[in-house]
Amino acid sequence: MTLFRRSLVCATALVSTLVSMPVRAAEPAPEAKGAWLDASQSPERRADAAVTAMTQAEKLQLVFGYYSNEAPWMSNGTKRFEAPAAGLPASAGYVPGVARLGIPAQWETDAGVGVATQGTPKPRLRTALPSGIAIAASWNPGTAFAGGAMIGNEAYLSGFNVQLAGGMNLTREPRNGRNFEYTGEDPLLAGTIAGNTIRGIQSNHVISTMKHFAFNAQETNRNHVDVKIADKAARQSDLLAFQFAYETGDPGSVMCAYNRVNGAYSCESGWLLDEVLKQDWGFKGYVMSDWGGTHSTVAAATAGLDQESGWAFDRSPYFSAALDEAVNNGHVSRTRLDDMARRILWAMFANGLVDHPVRGDQSASIDLADHARITQAAAEDSLVLLKNDGLLPLARSARRILIVGGHADFGVISGGGSSQVYAAGYRQFDEPLGKAVYYPSSPLKGIASRTKATVTYVDGHDAKEAARAARKADIVIVFATQWTAEGLDTPDLNLPGQQDALIGAVAEANRKTVVVLETGGPVVMPWLDKVGAVVEAWYPGTSGGEAIARVLTGEADPSGHLPVTFPASAAQLPRVRIDGDRKLDELDDPHPHTDYDIEGAAVGYKWFDARALKPLFPFGFGLSYTTFSSSGLSATPEGKGLRVSLTVRNTGRSAGSTVTQIYVAPVATLAGWEAPKRLGAYAKTELQAGESTSIALSVDPRLLATFDPASKTWTVKAGAYKVMAGDSADHIIATTTVQLGQQTLDVRGK
């Protein structure tokens, strides 16, 4: 699917010739009083009872999804697509229910930062959280949960009961255009943050997905690129992240990815869907395809795909009449069709979709003021102070503040694609890679309302004009934006357009320059030595401007830490250029490849550690306006893993939050460890000036182990292990050693 589809508006209705349209939900008949409607029964028993009561046609209806919008290209010589009338306008999808049995339809919406809208000039207007990478930068599971609960509530009140959230592909490629939707490069951090967002969403009788399963780490040729990765490396990296998210969030659904993995499309990979997810981890929910990610009937159903999504994007309606035929002629067993339906029903019962059905559009009752507070708090928790030569918080003595660029007089940028949330008062501005949606939360207005200084603005299009204005200012704040979006990767790690030159020119004119970055992921900073302060604000959501103003003026402490490594240059990456680019491929290879075995499980900081590369900013890095110390680090074996304790203290003069990062490593080099150390545990703690507290954390044994694909076990080898407290992956403050006995864990880490 291309970005193209996002801008298409409803076209003329076409008559479907291949797919019978779903019957509109009517009042449930008396037979709907079956055991499956008994809320005192377990979701398993209810799902069993419902499957037993269903006809084959009804089961088929559950496994086949529609797009809730239309475009002319969705009908062609081989297919006719008509958006069902019962779907919600301009939304991602619709799956009819079984009214006869009281099973509601599934109304699906994107995605991880809020309730999105697709392809209409009149989008629904909702609250947007900071991007996924920002939530990960908070290192705060509580923030992730609160945000998830908030967007799940908006989804429910908008009439949606399935939210296509939980995006968490590890950042193997810092130029990936969708990094902003995901939760960084470390399995523990990415998995627990995404898991908590999922848990929050699902606290609203809304199913959340976890996606894109798996290894969808680039947009370039995403529909076909074949990712090569060995089982062991996969289980110790991206799959471990998904495993943590699954255990934390218990998502009702998993969305399989566009790309191929080791030869098979993700949505046809028996290894990923059946073996890893369902058998090894025990996932009881259903696998839905990404939109356009289903490529077959028998192969997909056999491999473990349970529901074809938004079939308009596929070449054919694979899970409609073709699946009926395959079941009838035995190519797909009736047991398997039952299993597909049972999994969908289980997720619906387990998450309350049947007992607490959505009641259409109730959006007038969304508590927007409360949600603005939640998204603002999340933004404040996720802003990362990368450099500060004393310019921040902004001095009260400043008389003239100049603000440059980034549409900071209007608001803050957001990321593009299917996850796009529109908010009241939004505007679109042209960016080098496309049209970006900006939310009307102006950092300039937020700063101006908190200072007695005169605040002026230049838009930054003319670097000379900006430099002239900078000379007359006491302090300059440059807002630099990088629009990234689904469907395209960034061409390099630089800020787009002329922004690097603009910052250079302004900093040349006035060293008291603060740079606020609003980017989708890592960027390089050729001007870093010349500026006095840098704040990474990511895409900060619908109250982001207010959050930035509070942090810059010192009303709030910047307490975010990087969930990704910022490389010094693309030359440091496992792949200097992204594979699979059709334009660069001389033969226009129909089966493009990329080799993730180059780094294997050594993703992000682990790659940098293993190769002794110095990044621009390391994973875990983030400054504060106050200072912290830690003492008394100790570690003891606990169960099959470790218990770590230490005391943290706020040694500065203002309140702030510290992120405790515990890294673990074998003392002697152990075979099978992908890198010198791994993040073993983390915690975020808010402390008043002078306050201290003791912290106790558990390290999951899988983070001390290596995986053996043959026996499907994790092994912690006997020996001495270093347990390190650090304030980034590059800066260890304290180390202790602990002796561990040999441990064997099953595939679920038990």
What DSSP character marks residue 179? G
Q: Is 476 in the site for ligand BGC (CB under 6 A)?
A: no
∠ Cα 248 252 256 (to 5°): 95
- Least spacing, CB of residue 345 vs ligand BGC, in Å: 22
Cβ nearer to ligand BGC, comparing 186 with 290: 290
- Least spacing, CB of residue 291 vs ligand BGC, in Å: 4
Cβ nearer to ligand BGC, comparing 119 with 446: 119
Return the number of other C-beta atoms located less than 10 Å from residue 674's C-beta: 19
Measured between alpha carbons, how far is 238 from 223 in angstroms, rounded to an integer? 19
- Least spacing, CB of residue 415 vs ligand BGC, in Å: 12
Measured between alpha carbons, how far is 469 from 168 in angstroms, rounded to an integer? 42
Residues 6 or more apart whose CB falls under 8 angstroms from that of 33 comprise: none
- Least spacing, CB of residue 611 vs ligand BGC, in Å: 32
- Least spacing, CB of residue 1 vs ligand BGC, in Å: 5
Cβ nearer to ligand BGC, comparing 164 with 648: 164
Q: Which of 237, 235, 233, 230 is nearest to 184 (CA)?
A: 237
Measured between alpha carbons, how far is 663 from 731 in angstroms, rounded to an integer? 11
The residue from 60, 90, 157, 164 that contacts ligand BGC (CB under 6 A) is 164
- Least spacing, CB of residue 83 vs ligand BGC, in Å: 13
Cβ nearer to ligand BGC, comparing 194 with 384: 194
The residue from 58, 70, 110, 557 that contacts ligand BGC (CB under 6 A) is 110
Q: Which of 11, 253, 10 is nearest to 118 (CA)?
A: 10
Cβ nearer to ligand BGC, comparing 196 with 209: 209
Tokens in use for 393?
């918080």
Measured between alpha carbons, how far is 211 from 233 in angstroms, rounded to an integer? 19
Residues 284-303 touching ligand BGC, rule: CB under 6 A, are 290-291
Measured between alpha carbons, how far is 59 from 350 in angstroms, rounded to an integer? 18
- Length of the chain equals 750
- Phi, psi values for residue 600, rounded to 5°: 55, -125
Residues 6 or more apart whose CB falls under 8 angstroms from that of 296 comprise: 268, 318
Cβ nearer to ligand BGC, comparing 111 with 473: 111
Q: Which of 715, 55, 88 is nearest to 362 (CA)?
A: 88
Cβ nearer to ligand BGC, comparing 66 with 566: 66
- Least spacing, CB of residue 624 vs ligand BGC, in Å: 34
Residues 6 or more apart whose CB falls under 8 angstroms from that of 694 comprise: 632, 645, 646, 647
Measured between alpha carbons, how far is 750 from 731 in angstroms, rounded to an integer? 32
Cβ nearer to ligand BGC, comparing 171 with 624: 171
Cβ nearer to ligand BGC, comparing 49 with 201: 201
Q: If you search the block for the tokens 């998830």, which residue do you land on?
A: 148
Q: Which of 619, 639, 628 is nearest to 695 (CA)?
A: 628
Residues 19-78 touching ligand BGC, rule: CB under 6 A, are none
Tokens in use for 302?
């056999």
Cβ nearer to ligand BGC, comparing 108 with 727: 108
Compute the chain's Rg from CA coordinates: 26
Cβ nearer to ligand BGC, comparing 112 with 540: 112
Cβ nearer to ligand BGC, comparing 2 with 328: 2
- Least spacing, CB of residue 483 vs ligand BGC, in Å: 17
Cβ nearer to ligand BGC, comparing 267 with 534: 267
Q: Is 308 in the site for ligand BGC (CB under 6 A)?
A: no
Q: Is 111 in the site for ligand BGC (CB under 6 A)?
A: yes
- Least spacing, CB of residue 148 vs ligand BGC, in Å: 16
Residues 194-213 touching ligand BGC, rule: CB under 6 A, are 211
Q: Which of 162, 211, 115 is nearest to 351 (CA)?
A: 162
Cβ nearer to ligand BGC, comparing 290 with 546: 290
Residues 389-448 touching ligand BGC, rule: CB under 6 A, are 418
- Least spacing, CB of residue 311 vs ligand BGC, in Å: 12
Residues 6 or more apart whose CB falls under 8 angstroms from that of 441 comprise: 411, 412, 540, 542, 543, 544, 545, 546
Cβ nearer to ligand BGC, comparing 96 with 167: 167
Q: Is 1 in the site for ligand BGC (CB under 6 A)?
A: yes
Q: Which of 458, 452, 451, 494 is nearest to 476 (CA)?
A: 458
What is the amino acid identity at position 438? Y
- Least spacing, CB of residue 290 vs ligand BGC, in Å: 5
- Least spacing, CB of residue 284 vs ligand BGC, in Å: 21
- Least spacing, CB of residue 531 vs ligand BGC, in Å: 36
Residues 87-106 touching ligand BGC, rule: CB under 6 A, are 92
Cβ nearer to ligand BGC, comparing 418 with 543: 418
∠ Cα 574 577 579 (to 5°): 90
- Least spacing, CB of residue 476 vs ligand BGC, in Å: 38
Measured between alpha carbons, how far is 72 from 749 in angstroms, rounded to an integer? 49
Q: Which helix (H) or strand (E) holds 303?
A: helix 298-303
Cβ nearer to ligand BGC, comparing 209 with 351: 209
- Least spacing, CB of residue 637 vs ligand BGC, in Å: 41
Residues 217-276 touching ligand BGC, rule: CB under 6 A, are none
Measured between alpha carbons, how far is 170 from 174 in angstroms, rounded to an integer? 10
Give how many residues touch ligand BGC by CB under 6 A. 9
| β-bridge partners, 256 | 213, 289
- Least spacing, CB of residue 164 vs ligand BGC, in Å: 4
Q: Which of 94, 88, 85, 86 is nearest to 67 (CA)?
A: 94
- Least spacing, CB of residue 247 vs ligand BGC, in Å: 22
Instruction: Write the DSSP assignment of 498-566 as a string of letters.
Output: THHHHHHHHHHH-S-EEEEEE-SS----TTGGG-SEEEE--S--TTHHHHHHHHHTTSS------SS-B
Applying CB under 6 A, which residues contact ligand BGC? 1, 92, 110-111, 164, 211, 290-291, 418
